Amino acid sequence: MKRVKKLLSLVLAMMLVLAMGSTVMASGPNEEEPVPTNGSIKIENAIPGQSYSIYRVFDLSYSEENKAYSYTVNNDWLGFVTGEGAAYVTVETIGTNNYVTWKADKNTDKDAADFAKLALAYAKGNMISAVGTETADGEGETTTVEFTGLGLGYYLVDSSTGALCSLNTATPDATIQEKNEKTTVEKEVEEPTASVGDELHYTVKINVKSGSEKYILHDKMSEGLTFNADSLKVTLLDPNVTDLTAGAPVDADKYTLLTETDDDDTFDVVFNEAYCETLAPNSTLVITYTAEINEGALIEDKVNNTVRLDFGENNRTEDKTVETKLFDLGIQKVDGRDNKGLAGAVFTLSKELSLADGSDTAEKVGVTFAYNDESKCYAATGTGAASEINVESDGSLKLKGLGAGTYYLHEVKAPDGYNALKEDIKIVINENGNVTVVSKKLDENGVEMDEVETVTTVTVQNMTGAELPSTGGIGTTIFYVLGGILVVGAGIMLVVKKRMSSEK
């Protein structure tokens, strides 16, 4: 923008130097060369896809008798130079002509830029038609646009990127450099995976370029997200500053947050035009906000957030989309002897949080679930008091809507006839959705260490104990019976032995 302003100032200053009188006059071309009657404007480094329009503000006439040029106001612009433009130029009417003089105290970059902006606003507000409009063709980053056969005069050149510049074609040909670049937008999410009920943190960066104009940020969230409008904040980073925490807060009166839009956007942020004009090229507008994952995310096990930026005249950046994934967790309860599925077990699931300051033990929070009869699964609904979750009749259990992290499966109740688990089962889901089970084992030196196993389904074994002997059981009766038989046998043997002795 500064370079454009300098160009404006230079051109208008040239007009002033050429004037040297009450009317805008300049020495003519070389007397040996023919007086030009037509001119051209070439725009180099034009951006493909952008449109360029030119407006003829002042006419240029040539006097052969005096070998000099004189500038007069185009009739369409008389209202401007006698109205808002009167702060920059003086109009003197002589006969049917309105001659223009640039005011000597208006000779700064800002004056030239302000005059050009006011002139363009006047043209659009009063339906003044452009002398010509061309769209830059080409597939590269830049191209060339040229207007030919123009009447000599002073022109405004407007770009659909939002910037404008002015130039004098009395040479008669003029070449200007497009100093603008396309504004771009970036989007990030802190959480590549998350659970239902989790809060996601989004950051959008608008990379400001020359000619900032009419910034409207469009944001569309998938049905699995609930936008927190109170969380939205805007900050401005100076050029070449990349630390997002170093931005200066942008007052809420500089933009409007719309949560009810004409399209299917979740919300729009409309920046004030006057504020956009104050933005320095290569500065960065940073917009941050949050959204909560709701149960709608379970349909596709992911949520998307897409942004685009409208700027200038009918310009739009490419859509930028970020995604957060949710994962399923399968559990199978089995008999530890034959791996047969067991019904009747009840569990709870908790999630490990980041370590608290100064703590060696990770904090945990319970995961809440709601059962879905149709899909036969438990869908996560958030965190808090852990929900009890029951295995199916075949011992299977499916959990949905979980993000990456470390979880602990606790057995609240074992199947009837089986011993409950002594310890919770540690389960880790990584950011790709892969599941590992972590257990403890002793190495060859007797030192406890983690044993990690990658699984597709977490298998939970329960063991049953052997039946213990009873005091009223056959275990004692058999001894009494055998003892009685031995006593009777001994008596019989004694009687027989006595009879044999008597007979002798």
For the chain, the domains span: 2-177, 184-324, 327-462
Least confident of 132-141, 182-191, 294-303, 374-383: 132-141
Using one digit for the tens of pLDDT, what is the confidence trace for 172-227?
777 776 666 678 899 999 999 999 999 999 999 999 987 777 899 999 999 999 99
What fold is seen in the domain 327-462? Immunoglobulin-like (2.60.40)
pTM: 0.71
What fold is seen in the domain 184-324? Immunoglobulin-like (2.60.40)
Using one digit for the tens of pLDDT, what is the confidence trace for 432-452?
999 999 987 766 776 777 889
Query: Tokens representing 70?
Result: 């004189």
Using one digit for the tens of pLDDT, what is the confidence trace for 350-381?
999 865 444 556 789 999 999 988 889 999 99
Stronger pLDDT, 99 or 388, i.e. the higher one: 388
Helices within 183-276 (DSSP H only)? 273-276
Mean pLDDT, to the nearest integer, of 108-116? 78
Are both 184-324 and 327-462 of the same fold? Answer: yes
pLDDT at 171 over 70: no
Separation CA 154–CA 111 (nearest Å): 17
Q: How far is CA 422 from each of CA 166, 406, 443, 460, rounded to the nearest angstrom?
A: 82, 19, 21, 12
Least confident of 3-7, 26-30, 127-131: 26-30
Mean pLDDT, to the nearest integer, of 305-316? 88
Consecutive H or E run containing 309:
strand 302-311
Helices within 307-366 (DSSP H only)? none
- For the beta carbon of residue 346, count every other beta carbon within 10 angstroms: 14
3-state secondary structure of 253: helix
Separation CA 224–CA 109 (nearest Å): 51
Helices within 246-372 (DSSP H only)? 273-276
CA angle, residues 37, 175, 207, in degrees to nearest 5? 145
